[in-house]
Chains A and B, each alone.
Chain A
């Protein structure tokens, strides 16, 4: 979908079997490459479908074809949006949701890295803890809500626990798998160079497992954002963007609901873009295949 936006320059990926000392491509000498202007860099064809959809929506609502209060016009949604932004309600709701998501994500990721590393490096730990963890992983996240609500109530604490759980599972699984999947070939090379155990971990296993670990963290970010919405629906105390959506639907204010949906979508997209930017920064040029 947005692959075109992140097309890598293929210039640095030419490979030539030059047996002479000269003629190395300039890119190997770390030259910077100029970026094309925004207008040509982004593929605007992706915007055609949404624009058409909005036009049709506006036309239908203007023509009053549907006589239900549930179909609101785009203009009404815009008005509501403006009102929400101006009154600071959006900021309050979004910041509450994001703060919870951030705490859950950080706690879950850190816990997941620790647990995943322990499982990855210790065969004993894998044998003992692994089967339980695999079973635990299969339980649908939302099945934990009743238990969590009984133990932690319906407020922020419960939500953060839930979000941490959502983040913990993918990070642990991917960290553990990444460490296990380091090719024996690299470990033998490290043995040939007499690497100590610590050097092996730091210089070979961690870099080799990093793509997988990063995938786990990326999934944790996505899942914890999805879980944020779910948590706000199911653990209703408090404020957040999910609560905005619930309020809207309870009051039959579809404009508020649609506004909430748009905000959720944009936030999700922004988190995704952030993750991609981090990925590019870390993995630029090192690996030929993109992780997504």
Chain B
């Protein structure tokens, strides 16, 4: 009984660290998961930054090259050159020549001007009417010496062959009209010359930029190029962004596209690798915890089993000693009486001898059981099958033990079916089985009326049933009676002697012989054991 508190302590010692371990593992994992998610969002934003830089660079290059080309036009050739650009260059939507004094020289508003030209003039009317100077925004530059980023300086170095004292001015104007963006580039050779330039074909530019937009195949993410009013222009990435998804970040694209952003979105299944990492880790932690807990359970079960076995063995030794002592005491007492020769009555002498023989028979059976138990446990029990008739066998056995049965006050009832009941089995083992059952019946059903021997054939089996109308066996212990050392009553308080081995040995032997021993499951009164043994077909 000292095992129980120690098991409790063992379990506490096992469970507490296990739970702490699980908690810590889970916390670490969710931290890791969060870190991976953040990393993936950061990586996405980095990619957005790279794309924004590349778009900015492309725009800058386009604009610088266009400015350069505009400045390269010889002054006398401006109009035809610009018109040919407009006709042939996909990046040029409209061209214009504006004289600060004379107003707009080209395109002129006339009956012949196209709708596009009229809209163009209207769109930029503050500039073309002279109300607004071309250099109003800070994106304009003077000469080629501009305050610029190191990259621009590098470009300037690569282009400039000789330092010029030029008075050229140029600039790019992101222009909003009707809430839409237009981009106008202008140059001016010197103060006396007209301002001329081009309007960029924004759609063509976008078309080129989107076709260059790098592929983003990370699941659950999307990079979206959005204009100033957050309308998507181009999307890369499988995540559906319609609805009200909140972006993880917005990167400004370029000062040339004011308020345009590359917006990064992530969805639930964003960090696909992180998700699988979490699942995998949880599985591993789960396996570890299961191993620890099930190991603990196994150890506990084994411990409990050992405690139980030890208790049963103690009880077994006690009962066997008791069993051995009782007949020995009788034998010794009667033998001493006979030896003292004080008993003269021959009837009494005869009775004493009978008791001695009977008690030594009981002793023999007990010892046989213990020996058989040992052999069965080690698998060393040997059988010698011989064919015999079950009816003859039972009749003989009943006749031998008739007196013993009748002494307990039980009536013998025999219900033997007609027909052949030859079996090929170990006769001694069979006898031991039937006697074990009979002993049990005599032991426990002494207050009953009868003991019934039934012999029937069912299929290929012969069944021998021993039924009594005693107190029977409680339903919850019916199967347990076949376990070794088990006793239906508490072995230390019982009035009946016994080792708790008989039924266990009987069943084991019958199973070894190809039969079985079962108990009738639903008998209203008393107990009924069934021996099943195969019918000898060779007969």
Does chain A bind chain B?
A: no
